[in-house]
């Protein structure tokens, strides 16, 4: 951070180029999202030509293609957008709040909590519908993240990145152990659980999206509202306090937002790991560390990545499908590794 | 150090509260606390091992266990102790020790408590290839017993070394930076987890169930077949780790400082990485990817000993003790049902870690 004296006549050239880069980046993301939306509606086990997609969207006549698009692909696409935005935002928030570029919503135990509650639902109550899993998963995400945050902040020096990470790891391991015990002792639970745990958009109807949409909306509002506080927080707790931000309140809002977003996403689709971890890193390449840009861009990029991964999963092993969670890991992994190698990673 | 050594100055300034220990050219600091911890942990390990060999469907008193170990006991006791429970207990102790040392080294190198073989893809690399064998090679049910007993550990060993090599090659850019190593490890791990989960969805349910047992880390039916290769590998790797351990303290500093105090940073790091990965791979090949031991034992050891970076010897004994105690619980807690040991290590390790985090807070207040 070099402080420039105010009275220099010319504006700093890096600033202008950064601004241009951000706008170009956002425009590119917007265009990519549009392409991904169309692709998600047109491409699947059955590829539907653009003309018919158009007529199905705006002048449906009840043909088979119209039915496929209106009853299957549109709900699935909208759910993909919702979940992608939620995961991208949750990842950016998690990294911002913990000041830890390794942070991921899964680090707060959300995936493990959701998985444990879902398995309990299967084992104790015989729940096997995707619709039925949602509330179990959401409750589990909530319980786990609250536990991790409470434990993490009670450790030395408040919620330091390391203490949060250790608390998250401990809670996750504990919950995974309990989950594993149940599926080991009961093969029926394992049979249902192994298909939920890969994370997929398939088979979710509009009702599932309807169940989680408001959580994601509220979480998004909270996330975007906390951008200035996150910027202050990235300068350290003391500086943030002296700038008039309540560190404690900011962190609390952050955890609530992460839980709402990641919890809702996991409840709707099962755990999709990795998306929340990689998206902010990708986006930071053009937004820089300013959360007012980083957060919206992460949301958009999350939606793009999830839709693209879902379309790829529909195409690669036709007539079968590869679950979106697996595709995200297979696309995202190498991409993320390339990024880590290329960039000099600073702290968030 | 080209200057002629002066007469040893009489006024060696002692560090407050530390007693120097000199043997000829070598010197160190005598720290009583880790020594006490080491002795206590060793005692716990021996007690747990003896108890583990006595408990089960065929109970044997601890005195009889000891007598049998030293050549006494009747035929039945000899069979149960020497052929079944001793190798199983030894496997547990060796695996736990290997994982903890592996974790301690990785965490020190990367200067990051998240860098442990269960996080950065070493154990999951082993797991992925083992599940591959179970699901696509038929596993125990489909193929003859000898292939299954040989196939899965061998696949796991190759998988662990291969994924570690991939992580290492990808993380190398004009040297290894701990931070980059962890990030890339997590990336590789995510891909491996996805691969395993996909394999589980395409498997038959009985294969998935078998893979699930293996994935949690299990010491069930472990025999001398596991103990012998494990012992040989550890006899080579653990001394290497201890020889290289003196640079771990220096690697805590940034690279320039470490070079300044005479450490060949990249060389030392590569050697230590190799040792760490080797230990994690042989351990996982023998007993599956037992989680938590590698991640947590070094951290617990560090906190209990109150030192800056994870101490190797204490971590090793702690890992061994934790795994043996966990196996004892896994075998006996639920009566006839035997849980995989990895589940118990997680259940035991997690609350203790949380307790330590909470206690650190109290110390900060005091």
Q: Are B187 and A326 inside 8 Å of each other by CB?
A: no
Q: Closest Cα to residue A178, out of B327, B342, B343?
A: B343
Q: Are A156 and B208 inside 8 Å of each other by CB?
A: no
Q: Which residues of B touch A198 (CB under 8 A)?
A: 194, 197-198, 201
Its sign, for the CA torsion B272, B277, B282, B287, is positive
Contacts of residue B33, defined as CB under 8 A and 6 or more positions apart, other chains included, come to: B305, B306
Q: Are B295 and A169 inside 8 Å of each other by CB?
A: yes
* Residue A273: closest C-alpha in chain B: B190
pLDDT of residue B207: 86
Is residue B148 over pLDDT 70? no
DSSP A86-143: HHHHHHHHHHHHHT-TT--GGGGTHHHHHHHHHHHHHHHH---SHHHHHHHHHHHHHH
Question: Mean pLDDT lowest for which of A154-163, B13-22, B135-144?
Answer: B135-144
List the structure tokens of B94.
Answer: 């060796």
Question: pLDDT-derived band of residue B356, with 50, 70 and 90 as boundaries?
Answer: low
pLDDT of residue B2: 46
pLDDT of residue B11: 52
pLDDT of residue A102: 65
Q: Which residues of A touch B343 (CB under 8 A)?
A: 177, 180-181, 184
Q: Are B208 and A191 inside 8 Å of each other by CB?
A: yes
Mean pLDDT for chain B overall? 81
Q: Are B201 and A198 inside 8 Å of each other by CB?
A: yes
Quote the CA–CA distance of B273 and B178 in Å, as a whole number: 11
Alpha-helical regions (H) of chain B: 32-54, 62-69, 75-78, 86-110, 122-136, 139-142, 145-171, 178-202, 205-215, 224-244, 246-251, 255-260, 265-287, 293-305, 312-332, 341-365
* Residue A179: closest C-alpha in chain B: B343
- B209 at the A interface (CB within 8 A)? yes
Helix (H) or strand (E) holding B112: none
For chain A, strand residue ranges (E) read: none
Q: Are B197 and A101 inside 8 Å of each other by CB?
A: no
Q: Provide the whole-model pTM.
A: 0.78
* Positions in chain A short of pLDDT 50: 1-12, 346-348
The answer to whether B328 and B52 have CB atoms below 8 angstroms apart is yes
Residue A93 to residues A223, A238, A289, Cα–Cα distance (Å): 7, 20, 12
Distance from CA of A156 to the nearest CA of B (A): 4
Contacts of residue A339, defined as CB under 8 A and 6 or more positions apart, other chains included, come to: A278, A281, A282, A285
pLDDT of residue B16: 61
Helix (H) or strand (E) holding A296: helix A291-316
Interface of B with A in 329-358 (CB under 8 A): 337, 339-340, 342-344, 346-347, 349-351, 353-354, 357-358
The answer to whether B141 and B257 have CB atoms below 8 angstroms apart is no
Is the peptide bond prior to A75 cis by the omega test (within 30 degrees of 0)? no
- B267-283 pLDDT, tens digit per residue, is 888 888 889 999 999 99
Both ends of chain B: CA-CA distance in Å? Answer: 44
Which of B200, B201, B340 has the CB atom closest to A184's CB atom? B340
Q: Which residues of B touch A148 (CB under 8 A)?
A: none
Which of B183, B299, B350 has the CB atom closest to A345's CB atom? B183
List the structure tokens of B254.
Answer: 């940034």
Question: pLDDT-derived band of residue B141, with 50, 70 and 90 as boundaries?
Answer: very low
pLDDT of residue A78: 92
A-B C-beta contacts closer than 8 Å: 146
B301-305 contact pairs (CB < 8 A, 24+):
B301/B37, B301/B100, B301/B104, B303/B356, B303/B360, B304/B37, B305/B31, B305/B33, B305/B34, B305/B37
Quote the CA–CA distance of B266 and B178 in Å, as a whole number: 11
List the structure tokens of A7.
Answer: 């009275």
Share of chain B above pLDDT 70, in %: 86
Residues A189-201 as b or e (16 or more Cβ within 10 Å = b)? bbebbbbbbbbbb
* Residue B172: closest C-alpha in chain A: A341
SS3 B222: coil
Q: Which residues of B touch A181 (CB under 8 A)?
A: 339, 343
Q: To the nearest 10°, report the CA torsion of B194, B197, B199, B200.
A: 180
pLDDT of residue A60: 80
pLDDT of residue B145: 45
Q: Which residues of A touch B351 (CB under 8 A)?
A: 170, 174
- CB neighbours (10 Å) of residue A16? 11
Distance from CA of B211 to the nearest CA of A (A): 10
Task: Return the biggest CA–CA distance within chain B.
Answer: 76
B352 phi and psi angles, rounded to 5 deg:
-65, -40
Question: pLDDT-derived band of residue B104, with 50, 70 and 90 as boundaries?
Answer: very high
Quote the CA–CA distance of B31 and B41 in Å, as a whole number: 16
Which of A101, A323, A340 has the CB atom closest to B184's CB atom? A340
Greater model confidence, B352 or B158 = B158
Q: Are A167 and B357 inside 8 Å of each other by CB?
A: yes
Quote the CA–CA distance of A344 and A19 in Å, as a whole number: 21
- CB neighbours (10 Å) of residue A36? 23
Question: pLDDT-derived band of residue B33, with 50, 70 and 90 as boundaries?
Answer: confident
Q: Are A190 and B209 inside 8 Å of each other by CB?
A: yes
- B298-352 pLDDT, tens digit per residue, is 988 988 888 878 889 999 999 999 999 999 999 888 777 888 898 888 787 677 6
Q: Are B205 and A187 inside 8 Å of each other by CB?
A: yes
List the structure tokens of A268.
Answer: 């709707």
Burial class from Cβ neighbours inside 10 Å (0-12, 13-18, 19+) for residue A228 reads middle
Quote the CA–CA distance of B353 and B164 in Å, as a whole number: 27
Q: Which residues of B touch A348 (CB under 8 A)?
A: none
pLDDT of residue B361: 55
* Residue B299: closest C-alpha in chain A: A166
Quote the CA–CA distance of B181 and B196 in Å, as a whole number: 22
For tokens 């960039």, what's the residue? A343
Its sign, for the CA torsion A131, A133, A136, A137, is negative
DSSP conformation class of B95: H
Q: Which residues of A touch B354 (CB under 8 A)?
A: 151, 167, 170-171
Question: pLDDT-derived band of residue B144, with 50, 70 and 90 as boundaries?
Answer: very low
Average pLDDT value for residue range B288-292: 85
């Amino acid at each position: 951070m070099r402080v420039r004296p105010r009275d220099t006549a010319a504006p700093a050239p890096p600033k202008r180029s950064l601004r241009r880069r951000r706008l170009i980046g956002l425009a590119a993301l917007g265009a990519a999202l549009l392409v991904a939306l169309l692709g998600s509606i047109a491409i699947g086990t059955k590829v539907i030509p653009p003309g018919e997609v158009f007529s199905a969207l705006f002048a449906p006549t009840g043909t088979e293609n119209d039915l496929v698009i209106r009853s299957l692909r549109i709900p699935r696409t909208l759910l993909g957008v919702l979940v992608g935005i939620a995961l991208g935002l949750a990842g950016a928030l998690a990294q911002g709040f913990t000041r830890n570029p390794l942070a991921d919503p899964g680090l707060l135990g959300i995936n493990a909590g959701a998985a444990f509650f879902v398995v309990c639902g299967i084992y104790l109550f015989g729940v096997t519908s995707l619709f039925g899993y949602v509330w179990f998963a959401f409750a589990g995400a909530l319980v786990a993240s609250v536990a991790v945050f409470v434990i993490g902040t009670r450790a030395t020096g408040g919620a330091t990145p390391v203490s949060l990470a250790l608390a998250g790891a401990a809670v996750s391991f504990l919950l995974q152990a309990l989950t594993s015990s149940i599926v080991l002792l009961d093969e029926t639970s394992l049979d249902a659980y192994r298909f939920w745990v890969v994370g997929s958009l398939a088979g979710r109807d509009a009702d599932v999206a309807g169940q989680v949409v408001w959580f994601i909306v509220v979480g998004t509002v909270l996330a975007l509202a906390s951008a200035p506080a996150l910027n202050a927080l990235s300068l350290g707790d003391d500086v943030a306090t002296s700038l008039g931000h309540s560190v404690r309140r900011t962190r609390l809002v952050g955890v609530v937002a992460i839980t709402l977003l990641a919890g809702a996403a996991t409840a709707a689709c099962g755990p999709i790991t990795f998306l929340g971890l990689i998206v902010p890193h990708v986006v930071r390449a053009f937004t820089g560390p300013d959360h007012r840009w980083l957060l919206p861009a992460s949301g958009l990029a999350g939606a793009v990545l999830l839709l693209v991964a879902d379309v790829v999963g529909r195409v690669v092993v036709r007539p079968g499908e590869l679950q979106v969670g697996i595709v995200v890991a297979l696309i995202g992994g190498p991409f993320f590794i390339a990024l880590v190698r290329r960039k000099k990673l600073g702290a968030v | 150090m080209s200057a002629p050594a002066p007469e040893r100055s009489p006024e060696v300034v002692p560090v407050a509260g530390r007693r120097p220990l000199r043997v000829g050219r070598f010197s160190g600091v005598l720290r009583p606390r880790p020594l006490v911890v080491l002795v206590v942990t060793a005692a716990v390990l021996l007690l747990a091992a003896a108890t583990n060999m006595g408990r089960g469907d065929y109970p044997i008193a601890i005195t009889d266990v000891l007598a049998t170990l030293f050549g006494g006991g009747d035929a039945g006791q000899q069979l149960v102790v020497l052929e079944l429970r001793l190798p199983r207990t030894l496997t547990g102790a060796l695996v736990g020790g290997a994982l903890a040392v592996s974790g301690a080294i990785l965490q020190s190198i990367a200067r990051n408590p998240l860098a442990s073989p269960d996080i950065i893809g070493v154990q999951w690399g082993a797991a992925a290839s083992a599940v591959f064998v179970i699901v696509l090679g038929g596993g125990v049910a489909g193929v003859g017993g000898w292939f299954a007993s040989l196939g899965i550990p061998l696949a796991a060993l190759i998988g662990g070394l291969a994924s570690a090599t991939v992580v290492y090659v990808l993380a190398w850019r004009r040297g290894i930076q701990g931070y980059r190593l962890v990030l890339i490890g997590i990336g590789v791990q995510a891909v491996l987890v996805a691969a395993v989960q996909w394999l589980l969805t395409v498997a038959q349910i009985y294969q998935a169930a078998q893979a699930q047992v293996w994935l949690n880390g299990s010491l069930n039916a472990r025999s001398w077949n596991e103990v012998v290769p494990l012992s040989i590998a550890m006899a080579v790797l653990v001394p290497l780790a201890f020889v290289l351990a003196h640079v771990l303290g220096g690697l805590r500093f940034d690279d320039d400082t470490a070079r300044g105090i005479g450490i060949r940073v990249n060389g030392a790091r590569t050697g230590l990485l190799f040792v760490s990965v080797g230990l994690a791979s042989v351990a996982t090949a023998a007993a599956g990817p037992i989680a938590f031991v590698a991640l947590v034992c070094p951290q617990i050891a560090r906190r209990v000993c109150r030192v800056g970076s994870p101490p190797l010897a204490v971590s090793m004994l702690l890992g061994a003790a934790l795994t043996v105690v966990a196996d004892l619980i896994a075998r006996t807690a639920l009566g006839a049902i035997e849980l995989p040991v990895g589940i118990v290590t997680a259940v035991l390790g997690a609350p203790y870690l949380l307790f330590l985090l909470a206690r650190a807070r109290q110390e900060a207040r005091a």
